[in-house]
Amino acid sequence: MDRSQLHSLRVRPGDPAHLDRRDQSDRLGILDKAEAQRAVEQLVTRLSTLQHRLFAEDRRSLLLVLQGMDAAGKDGTIRKVFTGINPQGCTVVHFQRPVGAELDHDYLWRVHQAAPARGQIGIFNRSHYEDVVAAYLTGVIDDEERQRRFGHIRHFEAMLTDEGTHILKVFLHISRDEQALRLQARIDDPEKRWKIESSDLAMHEQWHAYQDAYGQAIEATSTDVAPWYVVPADLKWVRDVVVAQLLVDALAEIDPKVPAATLPPGTKVI
């Protein structure tokens, strides 16, 4: 993939997210689905090697934050990109509405507990960003509290980075029409109908409000140490290539090393 295409997806500190100006069906120079599938296969192989080194080194970690509107493809991205990854070195956490003990603590309490341990890749399927987007739009917090939480999150992510966690934040950007098609497909499929609730349809009706709120959250929290990437997600095969490439680049930047062997080369078991 052309590096300039990849760099264009990054929201730099202080820059507007411009979600309304970004083409959700942008192919980013990828010719077709077949080319994308070949690229993903190669990237997954590279990702597996780098994950092995990260796990063996056991000093640093990688956190992938996946956000997006309902049906943006968070589950599908995880299935496609993390195929062949050693489950021992990878954790996936899906943050839903806080309940029980979660409500008795600050909103970042449950998030901090789920941060990846050293040597691990952690995936947040939804994340603490629900607490500044959904919480604001449903009236749980007001704008003053939302702005305060933006500051909390910037400091929280900076602390994780200082302690050895590399953070990659991806917003899967789909169009309203594509979301409608995917939501309808879920309703029509008995095997997937359980995944959709009436609240999902209500959020679809509030499309523009959610787009604005996500754009503001991205602009307020995209930093040098924890940048946001807005990935076009109408075409699933483009989405998969981009996320896989971003992960490989992030791990290559970490550059994990396997520990030195304790036995000399040529040691025989028998």
Per-residue pLDDT of the chain (270 residues; tens, 9 = 90+): 677 888 999 999 999 999 999 999 999 999 899 999 999 999 999 999 999 999 999 999 999 999 999 999 999 999 999 998 899 999 999 998 899 999 999 999 999 999 999 999 999 999 999 999 999 999 999 999 999 999 999 999 999 999 999 999 999 999 999 999 999 999 999 999 998 888 889 889 999 999 999 999 999 999 999 999 999 999 999 999 999 999 999 999 999 999 988 888 888 887
Q: Tell me how crowded residue 215 is: count the other CB atoms within 10 A of its CB.
A: 20
What is the structure's pLDDT at 155? 98
3-class secondary-structure state, position 257: coil
For 76, the enclosing helix (H) or strand (E) is helix 74-81
What is the structure's pLDDT at 111? 97
Pick from 163, 171, 165: nearest CA to 221: 171
Q: Tokens at residue 70, please? A: 């309902």
DSSP summary character for residue 142: -
CB crowding 67-78: b at 16 or more within 10 Å, else e:
bbbbbbbbebbb
Residue with tokens 């040691």: 267
For 46, the enclosing helix (H) or strand (E) is helix 33-57
What is the structure's pLDDT at 199? 82
What is the structure's pLDDT at 265? 84
What is the structure's pLDDT at 270? 78
At residue 128, what are phi and psi to the nearest 5 degrees? -65, -10
